[in-house]
């Protein structure tokens, strides 16, 4: 790290000294600052109108204006010719489009035709005093005092018109039809815009050249659109990007002897690329990072929730291995999630046993409440079948807000259980009640009772239970036990045979309290 | 308030327009007044949207004219609001719901700055139930919300004549109810509403008058008469896409 005064001196050496020393650097800096400002403001309007190529069309046709202007009046005619060519080509594009040709085709035809004609004329007459290389690629270090003045005039003109007519330009660029119906002079706005664009292109040629001026009319606006969501701030951000590109390119051109057009455009493109990767919300890397975080958050939530359910509802000894097998996740993934939970002060673990801290229990209770209320809501209000609820709830539970959950709880009348019969923690309670009842697997022939809960960990078995009519609140009696499973009468009706896979997932409150097991033991898989 | 004494009268007489060689609007005439909800009905591709665009000057007129209270409509744009089809809007445009609404009140000379768009748009957004979404980017709105925010822009404009192109196309039921409610309110306030609409069944109950378009020509009258099964069958029989009518 350099110290303050040393950094100051370095800055002075790199950026200020060339300005002190050379007039062309001062003029060049003035020009790139003004062009950065002007072109960036217009680039926003081009980008939101999806007419980025319009700038390309106008800039290429300007070469024809340069050639014809030189033929008519030598050096004096060049700028006027360029200006007229820009406006005329804008009008030609509008005219061709109105006659039914697609806009992009119209622009493509116009700009290549005029560019070709311009090149043809220049290649025949070989005008003296016009360096084709500079016209095409820019030469910001060769600007004259006239150029600075001209650029200043255009800059003031463009900024003045855009500031004055901002509301009109905004409405016109967003919804030209409604703007026209509202009485806005949309046709005039269109021509004013085209004229401003032509003027900007003509003065920009000195700095970036015909071929690359399009970059200054697209890239700043496109970059800004990644960062903001309204037109006015978009223009402000675009100006910062345009000016930074201009200044960066100027020094790049000075130190590396690169043509100024490519230098400026490369800086602008680099800024665009960085923004594309990193922009909040829209940037590619930002989105990946956010997705990763969301995935981790969802995973951590699941581990937290299951730790509490296993310990409190089912009275199991919670080890990382048990959690991994219950959640069907690789042990490594669970251990990493537990490490994150420990880091956040939500869990404690000594390797073999996992316990939740007070904060962890509170958070887990909230999560369980959210999930089960959501399942109840999906079942009762959206009428989603019992065996389809779990995936739907898993999908939505990480997105739903706490407020929405309380609205749901009110709407449902603060239910005590989810549709599978699991208890829903109430806000006033601490922790969870244990599930009452014994598993149907442990129920002997001759016994029976009311189904208090069915496990929802396997949707295929859940579907089978729904089909058989084994639902919370139904009555079941075990009649006999065969090699293929238990013979069970359901709701005093049909007798069905139930495999032990299912029987171990159904919990029953015994009618006769012959067997009392308030803490059902589920196989610790 | 009796609907006949509202001093608002729209007259369309002998209106025609062409796209290339095809005459898409052919000699359409009708007249309606404030306090009416008027449906423009017809099969797909018959030129319903084109008719309103010709009326509003968005498509050049070949013959005929449109007048509001005896004066050419083209001379009184401040009295008109237009809600284009949702699909014609670029919903990726960088603007918020509130800003979109206040854009509708842009003056004809285009000058002035928009300050505090949320406060200005609050009334209109409240009416269509989108106050909570005021600062959302329009790209984040659902289809129905987008249609409602366009309606809010028309409400904010406080126009006398409001023209809506297919405001119910692919809109959720809640939004549909809100839009019908607001249209009825505008009508009760004495405004004149022209609605391009594709659903004949709801048209029979909802509109005070209907323009039935068939191959460029139009029939105008109360929905019971204009949308009588025989008339509708005739209109749809030659249509590019026949529609089965209940």
Contacts of A274 (CB under 8 A, 6+ apart): none
CB count within 10 Å of CB A437 equals 22
Question: Between B46 and A227, where is the model more confident?
Answer: A227
Q: Which residue of A has its CA nearest to B139?
A: A229
Q: Among all chains, which residue has been given the structure tokens 């779990």?
A: A390
A-B contacts at Cβ under 8 angstroms: 93
Q: Tell me: domain A438-510, CATH 2.30.30.90, correct?
A: yes
Taking only the tens place, the pLDDT of each residue in A109-130 is 888 899 999 999 988 988 777 7
pLDDT beneath 50: ranges in chain A: 513-525
- Ramachandran region, residue B70 (left: φ > 0; alpha: ψ -120 to 50; beta: rest): left
Distance CA A414, CA A435 (A): 18
Contact B110 A177 (CB under 8 A): no
CB contact under 8 A, B110 and A230: no
Chain A residues within 8 angstroms (CB to CB) of chain B: 48, 50, 100, 164-171, 173-175, 177-185, 189, 225, 228-231, 234
Inter-chain residue contact B110 with A174, CB threshold 8 Å: no
Q: Looking at beta carbons, which residues of chain A come within 8 Å of B57?
A: 180-181
Q: In this structure, what token pair is assigned to residue B221?
A: 């009258």
- How far off is chain A from B99, nearest CA to CA, in Å? 9
Q: What does the pLDDT read at residue B243?
A: 41
| DSSP characters over A112-151 | HHHHHHHHHHHHHH--TT--HHHHHH--GGG--HHHHHHH
Say how many C-beta atoms besides its own lie within 10 A of residue B19's C-beta: 13
Which CATH number fits the domain B3-237, given the four candidates 3.40.50.300, 3.10.20.440, 3.40.50.720, 3.90.1200.10? 3.40.50.300
Q: Which of B90, B107, B113 sits opposite A166 (nearest CB)?
A: B113
Are the beta carbons of A212 and A137 closer than 8 angstroms? yes
The answer to whether the pTM exceeds 0.90 is no
Minimal C-alpha gap between B210 and chain A (Å)? 23
- Asked if the Cβ–Cβ distance from B106 to A164 is below 8 Å, we say no
Q: What is the CATH number of domain A283-356?
A: 1.10.10.10
For residue B104, the SS3 value is: coil
Nearest Cβ partner for A167 among B83, B110, B139: B110
Q: Which residues of A touch B106 (CB under 8 A)?
A: 167-168, 170-171, 179, 182, 184
Distance from CA of A497 to the nearest CA of B (A): 46
Which residue in B96, B106, B154, B167 has the most chain A C-beta atoms within 10 A of its own C-beta, making it the best mutation to test that interface?
Answer: B106
Residue A339 C-beta-side C-alpha neighbours within 13 Å? 6
Q: Using alpha carbons, list the distances in angstroms from residue A441 to A317, A465, A477, A507.
A: 21, 14, 12, 9
CB B102 within 8 A of CB B81: no
* B100, B111, B114 ranked by CB distance to A165: nearest: B111
Name which residue leads in pLDDT, A397 or B41.
B41
Structure tokens at A77: 């005619």
CA distance A231 to A42: 11
- Give me A376's structure tokens: 């109840």
pLDDT in the model for residue B168: 94
Q: Name every residue whose Cβ is closer than 8 Å to that of residue A388 and which is 6 or more positions away in sequence.
A: A459
- Kindly list the residues of chain B whose beta carbon comes within 8 Å of any beta carbon in chain A: 20, 53, 56-58, 77-78, 80-84, 88-90, 93-96, 99-100, 103-104, 106-114, 137, 139, 153, 157, 163
Give the containing element (helix H, strand E) for B13. strand B9-19
Residues of B in contact with A180 (CB under 8 A): 56-58
Q: CB–CB of B107 and A167 under 8 A? A: yes
CA distances from A468 to A384, A462, A495 (A): 18, 10, 10
Q: Rounded CA gap, B212 and B28, in Å?
A: 10
Fold of A363-431: Arc Repressor Mutant, subunit A (1.10.10)
Which pLDDT score is estimated for B246? Answer: 34
Q: According to the model, what pLDDT value does residue B56 have?
A: 96
Q: Do A183 and B56 touch (CB under 8 A)?
A: no
Cβ of A234 within 8 Å of Cβ of B94? The answer is yes
Q: Across the interface, which of A48, A167, A175 has its CB nearest the CB of B113?
A: A167
Whether residue A182 and residue B114 make contact (CB cut-off 8 A), yes or no, is: no
Domain boundaries, given as residue ranges, for chain A: 283-356, 363-431, 438-510
Ramachandran angles phi, psi of A251, nearest 5°: -70, -35
Which residue, A395, A424, A390, is CA-closest to A408? A424
For residue A160, the chain B residue with the least C-alpha distance is: B111
Give the distance from residue B102's alpha carbon to the nearest chain A alpha carbon, in angstroms: 10
Q: Which of A466, A450, A448 is nearest to A458 (CA)?
A: A466
Which tokens sit at A28? 């060049």
Instruction: Please give the pLDDT value at position A164.
Output: 96
Q: What is the largest CA-CA distance in chain B?
A: 54
Alpha-carbon separation of residue A462 from A225, B34, B136 (angstroms): 49, 61, 41
Please check whether residue A478 is in contact with residue A495, taking contact to mean a CB–CB distance below 8 angstroms: no
Amino acid A521: pLDDT: 44
Residue B184 has pLDDT above 70, yes or no: yes
pLDDT at site A430: 53
* Cβ within 8 Å of residue A152, ≥6 positions away: A30, A34
- A162 contacts in chain B (CB < 8 Å): none
Is there a contact between B107 and A166 if contact means CB atoms under 8 Å apart?
Answer: no
Equal fold, A363-431 vs A438-510:
no
pLDDT of residue A517: 42
Instruction: Determine the residue among A49, A182, A221 to mutate to test chain B binding: the one whose Cβ has the most chain B Cβ atoms within 10 Å.
Output: A182
Contact B112 A171 (CB under 8 A): no
Q: Which of A280, A300, A298 is nearest to A289 (CA)?
A: A280
> What ranges do the domains of chain B cover?
3-237
Interface test with A, best of B52, B85, B94, B99 (most A CBs within 10 A): B94
* Helix-helix angle B117-127:B143-157, to 10 degrees: 110
Across the interface, whether the CB atoms of A167 and B80 are under 8 A apart is answered no
Q: Which residues of A touch B90 (CB under 8 A)?
A: 48, 50, 174
Q: Do B84 and A177 touch (CB under 8 A)?
A: yes
Average pLDDT over residues B182-196: 96
Place of tokens 């509130």: B98
pLDDT of residue A93: 80
CA-based nearest distance A175→chain B, Å: 7
Q: How many distinct helices (H) and strands (E) make up chain A?
A: 21, 8
């Amino acid at each position: 790290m350099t110290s303050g005064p040393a950094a100051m001196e370095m800055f002075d050496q790199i950026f200020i000294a060339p300005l002190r020393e050379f007039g062309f650097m001062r003029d060049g800096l003035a020009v790139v600052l003004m062009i950065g400002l002007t072109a960036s403001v217009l680039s926003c309007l081009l980008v939101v109108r999806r007419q980025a190529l319009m700038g390309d069309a106008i800039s290429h046709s300007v070469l024809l204006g340069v050639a014809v202007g030189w033929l008519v009046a030598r050096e004096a005619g060049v700028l006027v010719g360029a200006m007229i060519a820009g406006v005329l080509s804008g009008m030609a594009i509008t005219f061709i489009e109105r006659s039914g040709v697609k806009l992009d085709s119209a622009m493509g035809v116009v700009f290549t035709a005029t560019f070709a004609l311009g090149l043809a004329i220049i290649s025949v007459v070989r005008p003296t005093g016009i360096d084709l290389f500079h016209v095409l690629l820019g030469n910001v270090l060769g600007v004259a005092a006239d150029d600075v003045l001209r650029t200043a005039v255009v800059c003031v003109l463009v900024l003045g018109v855009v500031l004055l007519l901002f509301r009109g330009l905004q409405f016109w660029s967003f919804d030209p039809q409604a703007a026209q119906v509202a009485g806005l002079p949309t046709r005039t706005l269109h021509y004013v815009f085209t004229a401003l664009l032509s003027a900007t292109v003509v003065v920009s040629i000195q700095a970036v050249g015909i071929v690359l001026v399009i970059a200054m009319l697209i890239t700043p606006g496109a970059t800004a659109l990644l960062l903001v969501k309204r037109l006015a701030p978009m223009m402000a951000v675009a100006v910062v990007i345009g000016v930074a590109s201009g200044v960066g390119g100027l020094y790049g051109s000075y130190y590396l002897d690169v043509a100024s057009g490519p230098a400026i455009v490369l800086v602008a493109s680099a800024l665009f690329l960085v923004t594309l990767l990193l922009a909040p919300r829209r940037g590619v890397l930002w989105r990946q990072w956010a997705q990763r975080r969301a995935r981790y958050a969802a995973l951590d939530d699941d581990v937290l929730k299951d730790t509490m359910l296993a310990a409190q509802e089912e009275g199991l000894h919670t080890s990382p291995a048990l959690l991994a097998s219950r959640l069907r996740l690789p042990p490594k993934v669970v251990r990493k999630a537990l490490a994150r939970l420990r880091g956040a002060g939500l869990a404690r673990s000594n390797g073999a046993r996992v316990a939740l801290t007070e904060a962890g229990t509170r958070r887990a209770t909230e999560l369980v409440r959210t999930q089960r209320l959501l399942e109840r809501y999906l079942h009762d209000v959206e009428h989603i079948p019992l065996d389809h609820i779990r995936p739907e709830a898993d999908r939505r539970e990480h997105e739903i807000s706490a407020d929405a959950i309380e609205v749901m709880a009110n709407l449902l009348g603060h239910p005590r259980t989810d549709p599978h019969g699991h208890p829903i923690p109430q806000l006033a309670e601490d922790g969870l009640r244990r599930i009452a009842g014994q598993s149907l697997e442990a129920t002997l022939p001759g016994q029976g009772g009311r189904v208090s809960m069915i496990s929802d960990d396997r949707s295929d078995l859940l579907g089978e239970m729904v089909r058989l009519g084994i639902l919370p609140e139904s009555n079941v009696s075990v009649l006999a036990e065969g090699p293929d499973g238990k013979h069970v009468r359901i709701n005093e009706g049909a007798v069905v045979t139930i495999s032990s896979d299912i029987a171990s997932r159904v919990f029953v409150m015994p009618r006769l309290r012959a067997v009392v097991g308030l803490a059902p033991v589920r196989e610790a898989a | 308030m009796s609907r006949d004494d509202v001093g608002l009268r729209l007259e369309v007489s002998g209106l025609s327009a062409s796209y290339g060689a095809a005459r898409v609007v052919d000699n359409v005439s009708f007249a309606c007044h404030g306090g009416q909800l008027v449906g423009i009905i017809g099969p797909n591709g018959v030129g319903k949207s084109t008719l309103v665009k010709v009326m509003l000057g968005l498509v050049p007129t070949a013959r005929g004219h449109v007048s509001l209270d005896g004066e050419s409509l083209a001379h009184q744009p401040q009295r008109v609001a237009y809600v284009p089809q949702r699909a014609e809007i670029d919903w990726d445009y960088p603007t918020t719901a509130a800003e979109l609404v206040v854009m509708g009140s842009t003056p004809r000379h285009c000058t002035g700055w928009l300050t505090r768009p949320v406060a200005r748009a609050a009334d209109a957004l409240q009416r269509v139930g989108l106050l909570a979404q005021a600062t959302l980017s329009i790209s984040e709105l659902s289809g129905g919300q987008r249609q409602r925010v366009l309606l809010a822009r028309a409400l904010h404009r406080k126009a006398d004549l409001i023209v809506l192109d297919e405001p119910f196309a692919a809109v959720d039921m809640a939004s549909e109810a809100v839009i019908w409610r607001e249209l009825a309110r505008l009508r009760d306030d004495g405004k004149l509403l022209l609605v391009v609409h594709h659903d004949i069944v709801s048209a029979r109950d909802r509109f005070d008058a209907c323009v039935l378009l068939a191959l460029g020509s139009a029939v105008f009258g109360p929905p019971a008469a204009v949308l009588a099964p025989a008339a509708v069958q005739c209109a749809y029989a030659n249509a590019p896409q026949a529609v089965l009518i209940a």
